């Protein structure tokens, strides 16, 4: 059995459209409140009736959201279709926005790669240290640590893997007083 062809006059109830798009009915109402879509009302005016145009605008809005665009950017791009310069202007503006989104995603990808490398390095150091402890006959569980190993993120010492002070935090103290004049540790 084939499904009937859709026409431009076809409307969608809020539940049906939400299911088709894989979102909640609240999401559709959010985009209505934001002015992205303006569904009509059926019968007594209580039920929303979304048109094919509303559906297309919602698909664009949801894609923009997935790309990390702001609601204002989404609205601008979606609204361009109906205004001058029309579809061509909408496509040019979308391409501009996509370049910004792409650059942001590449920067995040680079940061994730650096973070993964740091995690791998710390894990390697931890494994190596456990191997050293096992080789020296010291049971890894016999030494109780009160803080994570040096180099672990979030350690109480405030230090990171390379020994530098963690971003944004004060320099950790070791309990050895420093001379206020020189900043050097007293012996």
- pLDDT tier, 143 (very low <50, low <70, confident <90, very high otherwise): low
E strands present in the chain: 11-12, 40-42, 47-51
Tokens linked to 82? 């109906």
Give the span between the Cα atoms of 125 and 149, in whole angstroms.
9
**Can you give the pLDDT at residue 48?**
86
For residue 172, the model assigns a pLDDT of 46
Q: 163 or 14, which is more confident?
A: 14
The pLDDT-based confidence of 76 (bands split at 50, 70, 90) is confident
pLDDT the model gives residue 94: 82
Could you tell me the domains of the chain? 11-109 (1.10.1660.10)
Tens of pLDDT, residues 108-137: 999 999 999 999 999 999 999 999 999 998
The per-residue pLDDT for 139 is 61
93: nearest Cα among 75, 74, 77, 113: 77
Average pLDDT along the chain: 76
pLDDT at 132: 93
Confidence of residue 162 (pLDDT cuts 50, 70, 90): very low
Measured distance CA(37)–CA(14) in Å, rounded: 12
Query: What counts of helices (H) and strands (E) characterise the chain?
Result: 5, 3
Residue 145 pLDDT: 56
């Amino acid at each position: 059995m084939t499904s009937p062809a859709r026409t431009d006059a076809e409307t969608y109830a809020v539940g049906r459209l939400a299911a088709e798009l894989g979102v909640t009915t609240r999401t559709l109402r959010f985009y209505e409140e934001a002015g992205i879509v303006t569904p009509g009302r059926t019968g007594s005016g209580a039920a929303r009736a979304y048109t094919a145009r509303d559906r297309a605008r919602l698909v664009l809005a949801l894609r923009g959201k997935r790309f990390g665009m702001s609601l204002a950017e989404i609205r601008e791009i979606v609204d361009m279709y109906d205004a001058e310069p029309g579809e061509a202007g909408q496509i040019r503006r979308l391409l501009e926005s996509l370049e910004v989104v792409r650059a942001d995603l590449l920067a995040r990808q680079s940061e994730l790669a650096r973070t993964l490398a740091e995690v791998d390095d710390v894990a390697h150091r931890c494994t190596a240290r456990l191997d050293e402890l096992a080789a020296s006959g010291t049971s890894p569980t016999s030494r109780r640590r009160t803080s994570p190993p040096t180099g672990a993120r979030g350690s109480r010492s405030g230090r990171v893997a390379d020994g530098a002070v963690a971003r944004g935090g004060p320099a950790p103290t070791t309990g050895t007083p420093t001379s206020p004049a020189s900043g050097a540790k007293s012996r």
